[in-house]
Amino acid sequence: MNIVFAKSPFLQPVTDLLREMEKTGFFSHGLLIGSWPMLVYSEYFTLSYGLATNDIDFAVDNVVKVPATGDETIPQVLQRLGYSSVMDYTGIETFLQGTFEVEFITHRRGGSAPPAVVIPPWKVSAQPLPFIDLLFIRPATVSIEDFTLRIPSPEALMLHKLIIAQRRTGRDKKLKKEKDLQQCSVLAEVVRAEELMQLAREYRLSKDARKSLAASCAAIGTTLPALNDIITSRP
């Protein structure tokens, strides 16, 4: 899927950040995730969902052995843009600028992993979380003004959110779950059934993941036959 915008749908500081990130070559192996892709899809498909929080999450592929474009690492780029790096006690790095908070996430294989891993070639510390690799299957390309970025496809984003909504942890899990499900209800209007099925086939969802999917579908009351087929099919 290719999306072209003549004018950026993002706030100016976010547009500036994305433009600079593209210069490092990040989007060849990285994606803009979180609630910002929803802003892209609401604009592109004219959906009634235009809310985005000020946390800007990026997913990064952890198996990259590619040379970075440009001389700067991502922490250097962020520092140049006025972001301060703050490391919490578990080693997770966050970049702060005013009310904006930038974090990097990578795929976690298996049950346990260190709280953060450094991703070459951008020398950025990322938090490993499960199901992130799902977002990298056939992502959408978004061209804005003079730069291009990548976001998960609506189908991958929906499938991901349907699964993780049931697995949220932490003190804000209830609100995050509701937000995930709200986004899924909106995406249900535009997802392609065939692509959903194809994704589920390729990703080989586990029994637990299917259970989460079923619980989320029931919660939002979606009647998409493709989702029903995924839930009831054998892993």
Partner 1 sequence: MRKKSRDESVYNMLRAERDRCALVIEKIARELEKLPKGSLGQRKVKSHGKEYIYPCLRYRDGSTVKFEHLSPEQAEELKPALERRKKLQADLRANKKRIATLDAILPKG
Chain contacts with partner 1 (rule: CB under 8 A) = 51, 53-55, 82, 84, 86, 88, 94, 96-99, 101, 171-172, 175-176, 178-179, 182
Q: Shortest Cβ distance from residue 49 to partner 1 (Å)?
A: 9
Q: In terms of CB distance, is 137 or 190 closer to partner 1? A: 190
| SS3 category, 146 | coil
Q: In terms of CB distance, is 158 or 199 closer to partner 1? A: 158
Q: In terms of CB distance, is 182 or 198 closer to partner 1? A: 182
Q: In terms of CB distance, is 59 or 102 closer to partner 1? A: 102
Q: In terms of CB distance, is 124 or 181 closer to partner 1? A: 181
Which residue pairs from 24-27 have beta carbons closer than 8 angstroms and sit at least 24 positions apart in sequence? Answer: 24/68, 24/69, 24/70, 24/72, 24/73, 24/74, 24/77, 24/122, 25/66, 25/68, 25/69, 25/70, 26/58, 26/60, 26/74, 26/122, 27/148, 27/149, 27/150
Strands 100-107 and 55-60: parallel
Nearest residue to 4 via CA among 42, 44, 47: 44
Q: Shortest Cβ distance from residue 173 to partner 1 (Å)?
A: 10
Q: Shortest Cβ distance from residue 104 to partner 1 (Å)?
A: 16
Q: Shortest Cβ distance from residue 82 to partner 1 (Å)?
A: 8
Q: Shortest Cβ distance from residue 92 to partner 1 (Å)?
A: 10
Strands 124-129 and 100-107: parallel
